[in-house]
Amino acid sequence: MFTGIIESVGIVKNLKKEGENLHIAIESNFTPELKIDQSIAHNGVCLTIVNIKDKEYTVTAIKETLDKSNLKYVAIGDKINLERAMILGARLDGHIVQGHVDQTAVCTNIVEENGSWVFSFEYDDTYNNITIEKGSITINGVSLTVVNSKKNSFSVAIIPYTYEFTNFHTFKAGTVVNVEFDVIGKYVARLLEK
Indicate the number of domains in the chain.
2
Tell me the chain's radius of gyration from C-alpha atoms.
Answer: 16
Final residue belonging to a domain, choices 49, 84, 119: 84
pLDDT at position 186 over 80: no
pLDDT above 90 for 116: yes
Residues 37, 76 within the same domain:
yes
The yes-or-no verdict on residue 124 having pLDDT over 70 is yes
Q: Phi and psi (nearest 5°) for 147?
A: -130, 155
Report yes or no on 3 lying in a domain.
no
Q: Cβ(34)–Cβ(27) under 8 Å?
A: no
Which residues does 191 contact at the CB level (< 8 Å), separation at least 6?
A: none
Same domain, 109 and 169: yes
Domain of 18, in residue numbers: 8-84
3-class DSSP state of 193? helix
How confident is residue 190, by pLDDT bands cut at 50, 70 and 90?
low
pLDDT given for residue 3 in this prediction: 86
The chain-wide mean pLDDT, for the chain, equals 92
Q: What is the pLDDT of residue 184?
A: 72
Query: What band does 191 get if pLDDT is binned at 50, 70 and 90?
Result: low
Is this structure's pTM higher than 0.85?
A: yes
Which tens digit of pLDDT belongs to each residue from 40-98?
A: 999 999 999 999 999 999 999 999 999 999 999 999 999 999 999 987 777 767 777 88
The pLDDT score that the predictor gives to residue 87 is 78
88 Cβ partners below 8 Å, 6+ apart? none
Residues 112 and 69 in one domain: no
What single-letter amino acid sits at 150? K
The secondary element (H helix, E strand) that includes residue 138 is: strand 136-139
pLDDT for res 187:
65
78 and 107, same domain (yes or no): no
pLDDT tens-digit profile of 128-158? Answer: 888 989 989 999 999 999 999 998 999 999 9
